[in-house]
Amino acid sequence: MASSTEPARGTAPRTGDPSSAGTLLTAADVGRVIDRMAHQLIERAATSDPGGGRGDGTAGLSDLVLVGIPTRGAPLARRIAARIEAFTGTPVDVGTADITLYRDDLRMRGVRALEPTVLPDAGIDGRLVVLVDDVLFSGRSVRAALDALRDLGRPRSVQLAVLVDRGHRELPIRADFVGKNVPTARSQQVRVHLSETDGVDEVLVTEGES
Amino acid sequence: MKRHLLEAADLDRADATLVLDTAAQIDQALAGREVKKLPTLRGRTVVNLFYEDSTRTRISFELAAKRLSADVINFSAKGSSVSKGESLKDTALTLEAMGSDAIVVRHSASGAPHRLANWVRGSVVNAGDGTHEHPTQALLDAYTIRQRLGRLEGVRVAVVGDVLHSRVARSNVWLLHTLGAEVTVVAPPTLLPVGIGSWPVEVSYDLDTVLPKSDVVMMLRVQAERMNASFFPSAREYSRRYGLDARRVAALADDAIVMHPGPMNRGMEIAAEVADSARSTIVEQVGNGVSVRMAVLYLLLGGSTQ
Amino acid sequence: MTYLIKGARPYGEAAADILVTDGRIAAIGESLSATGAQVVDAAGLIALPGLVDLHTHLREPGREDAETVETGSRAAALGGFTAVHAMANTDPVADTAGVVEQVWRLGQEAGLVDVVPVGAVTVGLEGERLAELGAMADSAARVRVFSDDGHCVADPALMRRALEYVKAFDGVVAQHAEEPRLTTGAQMHEGDRSARLGLTGWPAAAEEAIIARDVLLAGHVGARLHVCHVSTAGSVEILRWAKGRGVQVTAEVTPHHLLLTDACAESYDPVFKVNPPLRTDDDVAALRAGLADGTIDAVGTDHAPHAVEDKESEWAQARPGMLGLEQALSVVIETMVEPGRLDWRGVADRMSVRPAAIGRLDGHGRPLAVGEPANLLLLDPGARAVVDPAALASRSRNSPYAGRELPGRVVATFLRGTATVLDGEAVT
């Protein structure tokens, strides 16, 4: 399990200090981080299996639903699920939940196009839902996602997995699974690019407003 | 999106597609849910300002606003200060002073929503003005066509009936043209406007030659009062020449659909068996109306007010 | 009062001094002087005969909230007019000697222009029986122009009788040409734009059909016919044909029909709602050509003041009509003079000489010459200004030219030798 206090190291970027502008994670780094998160989820599913299962975690996996938050949380959830299946041979349910209509900052931004909300046929009631997003920042997206989940069903437990935690929380929300902790200045931008949406896997830190 | 939705004619392809896509996502997000409500417009106030009776359109807008958690006020011209002679402008300013964020207006005068938009700071949504436009009807019609046929580009749509007096026809002509459909209007010449030559449509006086070439047949309501004004000799003759009955439907391609904005005159412009057939989208149109109006309200009100 | 107008250019021609005394032009020449005269520096200004409007709505009696004889007279003087014909559609309707004398007297009291009442053709403008045309003609108001303006004298038999009857006192019937059965509920010109805007169309044929009928009737009975506010290219053709056949027909065009088109309706702002409606570019071109070649005799403003509540509404609920007196000359300069269609003598002819002749007015429409009544205006043709409705003298604000820059400024107007406007301000 990742800790929110984990310092940013291990996959040190080639450009030196991680909080200066540049490439934070390369394509190979992103792949490794996703693998590690998949392993952590397998472990969690096993220990949280309400019925005790067979002790190898695969029973708990059938209880697990990865719900990606569009845009990039959706492919991220699918990738983590694919890695879990590769490691265990057990398929994992995946869904997406668009949170736009639940945001509390709509008045401050322009309207955005909506993205799909798709849940697995078995639904989410009574299951372990892990929300998946690319970057954890203020926590407002996660709050909106929690509101959306409340309208979509009643999970047994909800947890949060993010590729990057960059700090600066504005709400009492923390991630259960973090791919990488990155200390940033508030003025910096953390950009996650995934091959499904952007043609390339990488995480960048840039200075100033987007 | 602009601040107001006044006419389909000023929607460009990107805006129109955004409305349809947004409606589709809302549909999907709400499908099968027990709680059919979203918090998006919490704290916003939508006024339904209806100067004409139109229960179905008002209810559709009301449901759309409520599903987005907006507060809804229904202001009917009947039994209000309006019937005592208060002007449209004074009514609008009063509603705005009470904190309305959007006014959904239905009015018998063409252009009334344009006037309102000059007087208020909030958004104005045209819910049908005179014989001008009814843009949300056209959006829900386009949405229904896309849902049934999977596309709009190149779809051949016949709009049949009283085009002269129809705001539904006008909105559909502009919107469907913008979205790449090919529109043919079919009517007796008396029910086509002088100046239709400048519209991006084909014109036909003969329904039977148009039907085999149509993917969509959109029947317009014929008002009883037109009969007394010599627009056509009799209801029977109109029905015989321009009504959609089972015999005519047989000339349609297998997957062609039949639409009607409602309310229908069964037996006049459309036969009951056609209205109730599997080709008919009439019930779907009503349901889609709510999703499309939610999309419009979200896109106009959801974002920054700047 | 004696005025010495220095350096004005009569009809835009060579500069001269004009001495005005005892209500008449006493002298025109170089370097005039007169002891005790008030000197008006008119260097660079054009002198024209005072303008005559055949078609003004002064709203009094009945709608004094929209305009009065006095406010309308002031607007007229500021526009360079020295005489206006006040239309009969007041409340009560000017269909008796009593009402026309009342309007005439109000005009005399205001004293800013000669207010010449128009008498209704039919009782109450209802198009059913003739009003007492002879009594109005014999009244102090000396009515010579009769019109149901706002309504068409649609009944062909009644129109024939009216045309015949007014011959007895050299009167003229000024027809509002609109076949009512073709314009039920009409809101704007019927064409591409009305089709799109969903506003009921007012077909050109509804005007042309009445004009065609009336010129045939006027020719048949040998009477004088005047056609109000001609608005279509087809009407111009019919008038040209009728004049070619010797029919005694005259016609007027409004400033707004010379300048504006039905494109204005796209805003749905009823300030552009008028009857007959604004037409197409082709119609505007034909009207300009018709005024230039004299087929259309005169500019008539159809100045139609309306209270704010009658215009700040839905298009269909709004009343038709627009202000015109204060911008008429500017619009004529913009549409006719600057493009070279009319010279200043032409302007004098279409805005003063011919309308005075049609109305059989003595003392108006006279040349700028020694011994003539001193009805004249001084114009700065180079001035350009943006029209601000709030600054107008009219009691109403429904100017279709709001925010539009127009050329020409009336600097002074003289009515029988008395200044009604000086330095661009009304003298009261």
Q: Where are the domains of chain B?
A: 8-132+289-301, 135-285
Nearest-Å Rg of the Cα atoms of chain A is 17
Report chain B residues whose CB lies below 8 A from the CB of C311: none
Tell me if B21 and A113 make a contact (CB, 8 A cut-off): yes
Tell me if B29 and A98 make a contact (CB, 8 A cut-off): yes
Q: What was the pLDDT predicted at A164?
A: 96
Write down which chains contact chain A via at least 3 CB pairs under 8 A. B
Question: Which pTM was predicted?
Answer: 0.91
- Residue C103's nearest CA partner among C147, C58, C54 is C58
B57 is catalytic: yes
Using CB atoms, pick whichever of B88, B89, B132 lies closest to residue C198. B132
Report chain C residues whose CB lies below 8 A from the CB of B110: 187, 197-199, 268, 315-316
pLDDT band for A16, please (50, 70, 90 cuts): very low
> Could you check whether B8-132+289-301 and B135-285 share the same CATH topology?
yes
B248 annotated as ligand-binding: no
| Cα nearest neighbour of C317 on chain B | B109
CA distances from C61 to B166, C82, C267 (A): 42, 21, 33
Counted across chains B and C, CB pairs separated by less than 8 A come out at: 76
Tell me if A118 and B302 make a contact (CB, 8 A cut-off): no
Give the distance from residue C315's alpha carbon to the nearest chain B alpha carbon, in angstroms. 7
Confidence check: pLDDT of B1 > 90: no
- CB neighbourhood size of A52 (10 A): 9
Q: What was the pLDDT predicted at C1?
A: 85
Q: How far apart are CA C81 and CA C376, in angstroms?
A: 8
Confidence check: pLDDT of A13 > 50: no
B134 annotated as ligand-binding: yes
CB C232 within 8 A of CB C201: no
Helix, strand, coil content of chain A in percent (nearest 5): 30, 20, 45
B151 annotated as ligand-binding: no
- Residue C119's nearest CA partner among C101, C133, C130 is C133
Write down which chains contact chain C via at least 3 CB pairs under 8 A. B
Q: What was the pLDDT predicted at A47?
A: 81
C229 annotated as ligand-binding: yes
C291 annotated as ligand-binding: no
- What's the DSSP call for residue A56? S
Residue range B135-285 forms a domain whose CATH class is alpha beta
Residues 6+ apart with CB under 8 A from B250: none
Q: Which of C53, C262, C297, C302 does the annotation list as catalytic?
A: C302
Strands C16-21 and C3-10: antiparallel
Interface test with A, best of B5, B22, B44, B123 (most A CBs within 10 A): B22
Is C61 an interface residue toward B (CB < 8 Å)? no
Q: What was the pLDDT predicted at B304?
A: 58
What b-and-e string marks burial along C119-149, b requiring 16 or more CB atoms within 10 Å of the CB?
A: bbbbeebebeebbebbebbebebbbbbbbbb
Q: What are phi and psi of A67, to 5 degrees?
A: -115, 110
What b-and-e string marks burial along B230-247, b requiring 16 or more CB atoms within 10 Å of the CB?
A: ebbeebeebbeebbbbee
Give the distance from residue A150's alpha carbon to the nearest chain B alpha carbon, in angstroms. 9
Q: How far apart are CA A105 and CA A139, in angstroms?
A: 12
CA atoms within 13 A on the CB side of B118: 13
Nearest-Å Rg of the Cα atoms of chain B is 19
CA distances from B193 to B219, B238, C34, C317 (A): 17, 18, 68, 22
Report chain B residues whose CB lies below 8 A from the CB of A98: 25, 29
Strands B102-107 and B123-129: parallel
pLDDT band for B269, please (50, 70, 90 cuts): very high
Fold assignment, C3-46+372-426: Urease, subunit C; domain 1 (2.30.40)
C302 is catalytic: yes
Residues 6+ apart with CB under 8 A from A104: A140, A143, A144
Q: What was the pLDDT predicted at A59?
A: 64
Q: What was the pLDDT predicted at B228?
A: 74
Report chain B residues whose CB lies below 8 A from the CB of C315: 109-112, 115
Apex CA C79: angle with CA C76 and CA C85, to 5°? 35
Phi-psi region of B290 (alpha: psi -120 to 50; beta: other; left: phi over 0): alpha
Residues 6+ apart with CB under 8 A from C74: C110, C112, C393, C426, C428
* Tens digits of residue pLDDT in A172-204: 999 999 999 999 999 999 999 999 999 999 999
Domain map of chain C by residue range? 3-46+372-426, 50-358
C4 annotated as ligand-binding: no
Q: What was the pLDDT predicted at C403?
A: 97
- Residue C27's nearest CA partner among C56, C43, C49, C4 is C4
Mean pLDDT of B23-43: 89
Q: Which of B22, B45, B57, B144 does the annotation list as catalytic?
A: B57
Q: What are phi and psi of B12, to 5 degrees?
A: -90, 175
Using CB atoms, pick whichever of B1, B26, B33 lies closest to residue A111. B1
Q: How far apart are CA C173 and CA B185, in angstroms?
A: 45
Tell me if C197 and B111 make a contact (CB, 8 A cut-off): yes
- Using DSSP's 3-state secondary structure scheme, residue A64 falls into strand
Q: What is the mean pLDDT of chain A?
A: 86
Percent of chain A residues past pLDDT 70, beyond the cut: 84
pLDDT band for A4, please (50, 70, 90 cuts): very low
Structure token pair of residue A108: 């401050």
Interface test with C, best of B10, B49, B86, B110 (most C CBs within 10 A): B110
Q: What was the pLDDT predicted at A49?
A: 60
Strands C418-422 and C405-415: antiparallel
Classify domain B8-132+289-301 at the CATH superfamily level: Aspartate/ornithine carbamoyltransferase (3.40.50.1370)
Q: What was the pLDDT predicted at A145?
A: 96
**Tens of each residue's pLDDT in chain C, 428 residues:** 899 999 999 999 999 999 999 999 999 999 999 999 999 999 999 999 999 999 999 999 999 999 999 999 999 999 999 999 999 999 999 999 999 999 999 999 999 999 999 999 999 999 999 999 999 999 999 999 999 999 999 999 999 999 999 999 999 999 999 999 999 999 999 999 999 999 999 999 999 999 999 999 999 999 999 999 999 999 999 999 999 999 999 999 999 999 999 999 999 999 999 999 999 999 999 999 999 999 999 999 999 999 999 999 999 999 999 999 999 999 999 999 999 999 999 999 999 999 999 999 999 999 999 999 999 999 999 999 999 999 999 999 999 999 999 999 999 999 999 999 999 999 97
ipTM confidence? 0.94
Give the distance from residue C185's alpha carbon to the nearest chain B alpha carbon, in angstroms. 12
- What's the DSSP call for residue B161? S
Using CB atoms, pick whichever of B18, B22, B29 lies closest to residue A117. B29
Q: What was the pLDDT predicted at B306?
A: 42
Q: To 10 degrees, what angle do helices B135-149 and B167-178 make?
A: 50
- Using DSSP's 3-state secondary structure scheme, residue A165 falls into strand
Encode chain C in three state secondary structure.
Answer: CCEEEEEEEECCCCCEEEEEECCEEEEEECCCCCCCCEEEECCCCEEEECEEEEEECCCCCCCCCCCCHHHHHHHHHHCCEEEEEECCCCCCCCCCHHHHHHHHHHHHHHCCCEEEECECCEHHHCCCCECCHHHHHHCCCCCCEECCCCCCCCCHHHHHHHHHHHHHHCCEEEECCCCHHHCCCCCEECCHHHHHHCCCEECHHHHHHHHHHHHHHHHHHCCCEEECCCCCHHHHHHHHHHHHCCCCEEEEECHHHHHCCHHHHHHCCHHHCCCCCCCCHHHHHHHHHHHHHCCCCEECCCECCCCHHHHCCCCCCCCCCECCCCCHHHHHHHHHHCCCCCCHHHHHHHHHHHHHHHCCCCCCCCCCCCCCECCEEEEEEEEEEECCHHHCCCCCCCCCCCCCEEEEEEEEEEECCEEEEECCEECC
Residues 6+ apart with CB under 8 A from A10: none
Strands B45-50 and B71-76: parallel
CB B72 within 8 A of CB B42: no
Interface test with A, best of B44, B66, B123, B298 (most A CBs within 10 A): B298
Q: What was the pLDDT predicted at A11?
A: 42
For C50-358, CATH number out of 1.10.1740.110, 3.20.20.140, 3.30.2020.30, 3.40.30.10 equals 3.20.20.140
Sheet holding C298-299, edge to edge: C145-146, C172-175, C225-227, C249-253, C298-299
Tell me if C196 and B194 make a contact (CB, 8 A cut-off): no
One-letter amino acid for residue B194 of the chain: V
Q: What was the pLDDT predicted at A56?
A: 55
Is A120 an interface residue toward B (CB < 8 Å)? no
- CB neighbourhood size of C30 (10 A): 9
Residues 6+ apart with CB under 8 A from C201: B193, B194, B195, C186, C187, C188, C189, C190, C191, C194, C195
CB contact residues (below 8 A), chain A span 130-149, against chain B = 147
Domains of chain A with CATH codes: 29-182 (3.40.50.2020)
Q: How far apart are CA A147 and CA C246, in angstroms?
A: 86
B106 annotated as ligand-binding: yes
Q: What was the pLDDT predicted at B226?
A: 77
